[in-house]
Chain A
């Protein structure tokens, strides 16, 4: 049986339909059964915002990677890949500086302060229906918490982000111009850094979100704006360099105006920068300390009000994070139940 015969077996002729009649029938059914539809505008906004959140998450992965420039390889071939995470305190002055440099949180603009940032494979977040589909999309087994606090109910939504990559080319001219826009004078960029490239990759990643339901619940804003639980899992980001050394980059970047002495000291104190992912933690707003999670050392970050907790860890080449309105013990319990 060839393809044509299969086609014939399944029927080769399109049924002739009367769409107007079908639409009349549909309207009558909707009316008689009292079926209400989803408001397109409201839902569209929610979906769009949710996807924007995913895009932001992808951006954060890349930015977090970019912030670890101290971890860039010593040679062309050596690749940065985090094996552990460590908190680095970001002060208000650091944040002010970053806010100026990253006005509007546009990644390209932010990175543009030092050169040219180009996505070679941009992150394209999308929603899938099941954990199995998320695993199929990302190519790794997506883990999920086996036990949840009673405050977390319902099923999660699944977002996947493809493996993304970007190239960043340092530019002394861009740096001078960016500094001038902020009425600052940047330290001169070493000649061997000017024009050198960083190759950054992140993902694929999966984000599971509880408490952000799709569909009808959004029509009146009855859904919770803040998800009750976010679980993220991603292939660890990597950075490679076409020649500039760790020491050169670290010395140059940490000499930038606006980088606080505390942040510079914390980054310099990282013992193995080629395999440690620094997680910026706002010093005035949050606390953090190392924790043991899934048998490895991870990082607990909690805000000072006790409202939100996050646990971040790295295991077997994957980065994980659990974020929500929990106590530290609840957050750790969720993290340790991930299977």
Chain B
């Protein structure tokens, strides 16, 4: 992991410069990690189109500031996917509250072809998302990463915690999730 780049006027990489073709290294990284980044965001958002939007933003953020061959690239992308998706989820909740406060009837979201919608009923799905939005950031991110299939080592790298602590932190996150869902 590395600090966000400081960009400024007159420095290549700053805003306003002509874009170059993406490097083979970046394309390789994109191909290797795109599905997983979408998968992490999808665990949080339960909406594939929104998850893919988040994934695009995550890759753009990485592309602006980090080299494709950085050893921390996958971990950075995984963490960013979880955090960006949680931010999008909270933004979605805020929008929903605003709309509800205005007492304008809204349509129930259509159940599309996404298999995740079939697994969880609409009410449960919304409740699960609300719980994720309420959980502490790290707990919610940990659940998203774990249930997107990341290993303990990958979670440790993404969230910058000790691998030996992941099991305990994950159990706490699951307990908090259960308590909130009741």
Contact = CB atoms under 8 A, between A and B. Distances in A.
Given A15-B51, A216-B13, A47 B178 contact: no
Contact of A7 (B15, B59, B147): B147
Contact of A216 (B7, B21, B25, B55): B7
A215 B59 CA distance: 15
A44 B67 contact: yes
A6 B52 contact: no
A27 B63 CA distance: 11
Given A14-B35, A36-B17, A215-B65, A25 B6 contact: no
Interface in A2-42: 3, 6-15, 17, 19, 22-23, 25-27, 29-31, 33-40, 42
B20 A23 contact: no
Contact of B56 (A13, A22, A39, A155): A22
A148 interface: no
B27 A136 contact: no
A295 to B, nearest CB: 32
Nearest to B2: A214
Contacts, number: 192
Interface residues of A, number: 52
Contacts of B30: 19, 22-23, 26
A215 B2 contact: yes
Interface of A: 1, 3, 6-15, 17, 19, 22-23, 25-27, 29-31, 33-40, 42-44, 47, 127-129, 133, 136-137, 154-155, 157-158, 213-217, 219-220, 222
Interface in B29-67: 30-31, 34-35, 38-39, 42-43, 46, 48, 51-52, 55-56, 59-60, 63-67
B19 interface: yes
